[in-house]
Amino acid sequence: MQMQTDLLEEARRQAEICNACRYCEGYCSVFPALHAERAFSDGNLTQLANLCHNCRGCSYACQYTAPHEFNLNLPQALANVRQDSWESFAFPRAAGQAFQKHGVRIAVATVIGFALLFWAIHALPTAGGDGFYAALSHNAMVAIFLPAFLFPLVSIAISLRRYWRHIDAGPFRPAHLVAAFGQAANMRNLKGGHGDGCNFEDEDRFSHARRRAHQAVMYGFLLCFASTSAGTILHYVFDMPAPYGFWSLPKLLGVSGGLLLVVGCAEMIRLKLRADPELGATGAFGGEVAFVGLLGFVGLSGLVLYALGQTAMMPALLAIHLGAVLAFFLLTPFTKMAHGFYRLAALTAEAGRKARVAG
């Protein structure tokens, strides 16, 4: 609790200085919301932190960074509050705190553990089937993955409810959510205040590389989800069970999504390694890399499984891929994957604030 208080107090100090200066007024969504306040509650600061995309342009433009006595580092101050909010609101909280501290080890151990579990299930007698179902029955996959899919939804819903109450966002309006989806879809806030991009990986160069990497990951994930949904509809509605050919909808969506995931995650890690660690959350690097690496591995293992699915390696590759997917789903509420949901909630709350001001 003391660390949380210290992080909030430091963010409050810096926000008050920024509110007096106002040099960065048009940089991103943070500053209109910041300048609308005169005093900053803990909820205000948490909302500002989750509006921040950590593009770092404000820090590179600031005249009050070190060695100035004010020693401003707003991107890091907000990143620390943001990271702490994800841990505090996570359900269960202990799992969120554990992943942020030991993310790489937890991700690797979880993937290996689930892969061994699937391999053990594969060794049991089955009723047979075609394609992947010859190694693991359809009913077994449903029995395992349906609860694994529902758990993160429930966990994230509880977390977002805690967040919404903490920031005192007021009544929820669907129209505000639609506006937030519009901003999230094109990553508008990663374009920078003037649309030239952000300075995330290079202080002296504006770039859209980070926005494009985020878009590749987001749309890659959505395509993979659409692939699974298409396969489910074909199986249950049209009585067309897998395996499907390359030109089928599930395969086209899945291969496209997998490629985007791998490319996007690799680029995000590259940019993260080039960026200044002093402008991000303290001690969060391991957890962030673990999440991006896990998501990229899900896409990569799926592509390798598709390429070698007709060989004797298929059962082992299937166990590894399903282990990665199951680990990803169960860890989602505690990884940086949750930041997408918090960011959407923050943008929705900000749309509501603007509507109240305009009204």
Range of the domain at 51: 2-85
- 28 and 127 share a domain? no
Domain end marker among 58, 85, 112: 85
| Pair (28, 106) in one structural domain | no
Give pLDDT, residue 15: 92
Same domain, 60 and 177: no
**134 and 216 belong to one structural domain:** yes
Q: Which pLDDT belongs to residue 3?
A: 62
Which three-class secondary structure string do you get for the chain? CHHHHHHHHHHHHHHHHHHHHCCCCCCCCHHHHHHCCCCCCHHHHHHHHHHCCCCCHHHHHCCCCCCCCCCCCHHHHHHHHHHHHHHHHCCCHHHHHHHHHHHHHHHHHHHHHHHHHHHHHHHCCCCCCCHHHHCCCHHHHHHHHHHHHHHHHHHHHHHHHHHHHHCCCCCCCHHHHHHHHHHHHHCHHHHCCCCCCECCCCCCCCECHHHHHHHHHHHHHHHHHHHHHHHHHHHHCCCCCCCCCCCCHHHHHHHHHHHHHHHHHHHHHHHHHHCCHHHCCCCCHHHHHHHHHHHHHHHHHHHHHHHCCCCCCHHHHHHHHHHHHHHHHHHHHHCCCHHHHHHHHHHHHHHHHHHHHHC
Domain boundary (47, 65, 85) is at 85
Last residue of a domain, one of 64, 85, 106: 85
Count of structural domains within the chain: 2
96 lies in the same domain as 139: yes
Residues 328, 275, single domain; the answer is yes
Within this chain, do residues 194 and 302 fall inside the same structural domain, yes or no? yes
Residue 319 pLDDT: 87
Please check whether residues 78 and 164 belong to one and the same domain: no
Together in a domain, 80 and 107? no
201 with 343, same domain?
yes
pLDDT in tens, the chain (359 residues): 556 788 899 999 999 999 898 888 777 778 888 888 888 899 999 999 998 888 888 888 889 999 999 999 999 999 999 988 988 898 887 777 777 777 778 888 888 888 888 888 776 655 555 666 666 676 777 778 888 888 889 999 999 999 999 999 888 888 888 888 887 777 776 766 666 767 777 666 777 888 888 889 999 999 999 998 898 898 888 888 777 788 888 889 999 999 999 999 999 999 888 888 888 887 777 778 888 898 999 999 999 988 887 888 888 888 888 889 988 888 888 887 888 899 999 999 988 888 887 76
Same domain, 111 and 184: yes
The answer on 75 and 96 residing in a single domain is no
